[in-house]
Structure 1
Amino acid sequence: MNTTTITIQKAQKQFSRLLELALQGNEVVITKDDVPFVRLVPVQPQPRVGNLHKGAMQMKTDFNEPLPDEFWLGSA
């Protein structure tokens, strides 16, 4: 991974290019008054965790039953 360091003033003019560099796996450090201010790095996708909220939802036993006419037509 290469690191590119750039001032905040120059970064404002080249933001799209800096994003492309970060998306290619490079680190981009933006400085303000020669002090590192922001670091752009690509976000690594996180694996999904199965069964994380197991049991948090419950489904009624009549879930697949047709809804009553009152649901569709409203009650008179």
Structure 2
Amino acid sequence: MSTQHAQRQYNVHEAKTNFSRILQLVETGEEVIISRAGQPVAKVVPLRPKVNRTDYGTLRGQVHIPEDFDELPDDIADAFGMR
């Protein structure tokens, strides 16, 4: 279940004045729209968290590569001049 936050909108002057507040909102998952003359020109969105992989094989059991993975279908091999 995802929680959807309402988007807030700031004009350029408000955005400069409230930059720290905007960052706090974004850190909690909100998206903030920056407008100029009433027209949206930018969206500030949260960055996706970095996944720290500590070892090889962290996706073991989650990914399946079929035995014929390296075999191209005839029509694709023909298109690349490989037959």
Normalised by the shorter chain, which TM-score bucket?
Answer: 0.5 to 0.7
Distance in 1, Cα, partners of 2:48 & 2:39: 26
The number of aligned residues is 51
Give the one of 29, 34, 46 matched to 1:30. 34
State the TM-score, normalized to the length of structure 2.
Answer: 0.53
Bigger relative contact order, structure 1 or 2 (CA pairs below 8 A, ≥6 apart): 1
In 1, Cα distance between equivalents of 2:45 and 2:13: 19
Structure with the bigger percentage of strand: 1
- Superposition TM-score, scaled by structure 1 size: 0.58
Question: Whose Rg is larger?
Answer: 1
1:37 Cα deviation from its structure 2 partner: 1.1
Alpha-carbon distance between aligned partners in 1 of 2:23 and 2:52, rounded to the nearest angstrom: 26
Identity of aligned residues (%): 27
Any runs of at least 4 consecutive aligned residues in structure 1 with deviations exceeding 2 A, and if so which?
A: 45-51
For residues 17-49 of structure 1, give each alpha carbon's deviation from its aligned partner in whole angstroms, at most 9, with x where no partner exists.
001001100110000011111101101125468
Among candidates 3, 10, 21, match of residue 6 of structure 1: 10
Indicate which of 3, 8, 20 corresponds to 2:24: 20
